[in-house]
Structure 1
Amino acid sequence: MTKLVVSWIRQRDIHILTVGRYTYTTDQRYEVIHSQGSKDWILKIKYAQVRDSGNYECQVSTKPVRSYTVHLHVFAPLAEIIGAPDMHVDKGSTINLTCVIAHSPEPPAYIFWYHNGKVVNYESPRGGVTVTIERGNTSRSSLMIQEAKPPDTGNYTCAPSNTAPAFIHVHVLNGETPAAMQTNRGVAIAASPLGHALLTCLLMGVHLVFLVENLLLPGTFRGGGDRT
């Protein structure tokens, strides 16, 4: 009986990643895992990044060759302040800012708030400043400032430990109207994902089955492709 050989190919650049247990790429994050006698062939991508998203093909050296394609989508952690890039509040009202951190493999260890580049002091003589944090698959941090005053106007930054910060400009109105004010719009958000992606090619006799196991990054795999 001819020994079957399994290969992993990245379809975007027609790049052969592995053949059998050998790796044919200079990217050391790729590794093939296969135990003697096992029908599982696992392509491990260490420290998965957004650029790793795309179609991956598992080929088996039957005659004719059998193949299966799966789409890997890696999400980057993302911080966003609801209502950004600008918020207008009346003098004496409450400023309520909510920062949402999504697509993170684990909740942030901390979330700092800044006002015009300085850490918000929750125990300042001003008073009326509170922060609440909810951690989970999607984490939230809310900054509440009561009885808003003109000095509270400015840029506010939400800075989680595990992704790039998010920004919002708050305008405390003292009889003005938002339409009469100039605003600077724009926010840049970037992040570096963590974790590994494992793609498993399972051989069952002459049949080829694709499995996904132990993805440490929030993301979606959508199997879909032509068997040949």
Structure 2
Amino acid sequence: MKDINVTMLLIALGLSFLALPLGCPSKLMFKEPLNNVTVKVGQDAVFHCVVKDLGGHRVAWNEVESKAILAIHTHVVTSDSRVKVSHDRALEIWTLKIRNVSLEDSGSYMCQLNTNPMRSQKAYLNVVIPPTLRSREIPEESVVSEGGPAELRCMAEGIPRPDIIWTREDGGPIVIRRDSSVQKFENFIGDTLHMPRVTRWDMGNYICTAKNGVEPTPRERITLHVRFPPLVRAPDPLIRVIPGGSFSAHCQVESFPASLNYWLDPEGKTVNNHGNRIRTSQEFEPPFKTTFSLSIENVTRADFGTYHCVSNNGQSKEVKSPITVEAWRGENGSGSPPDSHTHPLIYTHVQI
């Protein structure tokens, strides 16, 4: 804080703070300690000095580090217009108020009595700044390859220095895989989240939150994408159907980026929709699963054979899985087709 010529002001005010009375009343005492104050930048800081039986003595407020006198009794000495003092005679409280504090106001303040010897109390003004994230330095997404490392970073500023806390938006654990260990964290503390070896299951939104005990606490989202070639699963690799009946074949694909999926018929030709009799469809389940289906009604002999569901996302050659459709005749040429779900699940990485 800026100060003015204190000596000249004291003369002008006719104050006698520097003339210390000999001795002091036996009952004069500080009734309460001078408490430390913590406020955010821009708020007001208030110190209360409670003195019993002050008598003819006076109270002064000082900045300890600069040794600047801020106020004497009810008179403000400093030229800083933000400083105010007041006195509650009934409660014997002397108050120093600093409006709209800045970081430079941090430090020790003293409530001083002109007794002989001098009596004083000190307290600390801690000016804090809420955390802010350096949003321009935080990417919205990161794309890495499966099996390789991933590194997400958030930088923050504030006083005291903020901690960066990482969580997954879906509530799942953060998994750190190393050569000899796997660790799981509900939250991870540090500017940088380093994952030495990622899998597709690490894909998703990660939240970094800056905290230093001062509100508000800002957050940023970083989306982690993990590239990997398609994995095709055929839940029912063998389907038996009565001629004239209908069937649905399904393939499940895991892939990122999203793959191009299609069906090949027994002659190796791409299957296209044909009215209501032949239909293809697919359903995406974030972040990397897709189920695509082939449905055929009014089955004829030409529809029997081995179909292939094919997937390609540019991370490898095309991957396909076979599904065989056979005629079901039953015993003596009659009966209903069995429940196809009794067939084992096939995981396929056949490349063509």
TM-score interval, normalised by the smaller of the two chains = 0.3 to 0.5
Compare CA radii of gyration and give the structure with the larger one: 2
**TM-score, normalised to structure 1's length?**
0.44
More contact order relative to length (CA 8 Å, sep ≥ 6): 1
Give TM-score scaled by structure 2 length.
Answer: 0.30
